[in-house]
Amino acid sequence: MPYPIQWILSLIFIVQMYLSMFVMAIFWTPLVMIKRDNVFNAIHSYCKWVRVSARYIVGLKSEIRGDVPTGEVIIASKHQSFFDIILIVSVAPRPKFIMKKQILWTPIVGWYARRMGCVAVDRGKRGVAIKKMVADVKSGATDPGQLIIFPQGTRVAAGAHLPYKIGTGVLYEQTGQACVPAGTNVGVFWPRHGIYRGRGTAVVEFLPEIETGLDMKTFMARLEHDVETSSNALMAEAGFVVAKD
C-alpha cells in the first residue's frame, strides 16, 4: 500500500481509537460503579476493539503466544508502545499495573486505573516509590490478579537498549510471587511516538514462569535474558534488523 495512504489510515485509526475509548467509557462507567469487577469487562472490550480495528483499518494484526498467566503473578514485559499494553490487557483476566503516579490524573484512564487496583509510584522518589509499591501489593491494598510491570521503567524503541531497573527484582523478592516474563515486537509497527502505524503482525509472547526463591542477581539476569532474547527474535521475525551489542 502506498506510504501516504498508510499515513491517512493511521490517522483515522488513532482518531477512532480515542473516540471509542470515550464512547465505551460512557457506556461502562455506570456498570463499573454498580459492580467494580465490571472494570475488567470494560477494559477487555476496549482492548479487543483496538486489536480488531488495528487489523482492519491499518492492516496491523496481533497475536498472543505462550500460556496466558491467570493466577496471582507478576508479568514483567518489554514495553515498546501503547500496543503491548493493549495486547496484554486484552487477555489477562484481572490485570493491574505498576505505573507512574501522574497517570491517575488522566481523564478516563486514571479513574479506570484506580478501579483496576493499579499501584501508582512517584518516579522522582525511587527509594520511597519502591517501598510503597511493595507495601501496597503485600498489604492487600490491591486485589489479587496479574501485576504488570515494565522492568526498564519506560517505553523503549525497537532495537534500543536501556538498563533493567531493580524495582522488579525487589517486588519479586519481597512479595514471593512468581514472575512471567514477556517479550514483544510491537515497536516495529507501532512506535513510541508519532502517528504512523505499519502493517504486519505484532506479537506479545508470554515466556516460561520464573519460579520463586531465586536471589536478586540471578532473577534479574534471567529476566533480562529471557525478555531480550524473545523480543529480539520477534523483531527479527518481523523483518527488523536488531543491532548486536
Enumerate the domain spans of the chain. 60-237
Listed as ranges, residues in the chain with pLDDT below 70 are 1-2, 123-130, 132-133, 136-143, 244-245
> What integer pLDDT is reported at residue 40 of this predicted model?
95
- Alpha helices, H only, 75-117: 82-91, 109-116
> What integer pLDDT is reported at residue 110 of this predicted model?
85
> What integer pLDDT is reported at residue 208 of this predicted model?
97
Kindly list the strands in the beta sheet with 119-121, ordered across the sheet, starting from the edge strand earlier in the chain: 60-65, 200-206, 179-184, 73-77, 146-149, 95-100, 119-121
> What integer pLDDT is reported at residue 98 of this predicted model?
78
pLDDT digits (tens, 9 = 90+) for 116-154: 888 777 766 555 666 766 776 666 555 678 999 999 988
> What integer pLDDT is reported at residue 227 of this predicted model?
98
> What integer pLDDT is reported at residue 62 of this predicted model?
98
> Please, what CATH class does the domain formed by 60-237 belong to?
alpha beta
CA distance 93 to 41: 9
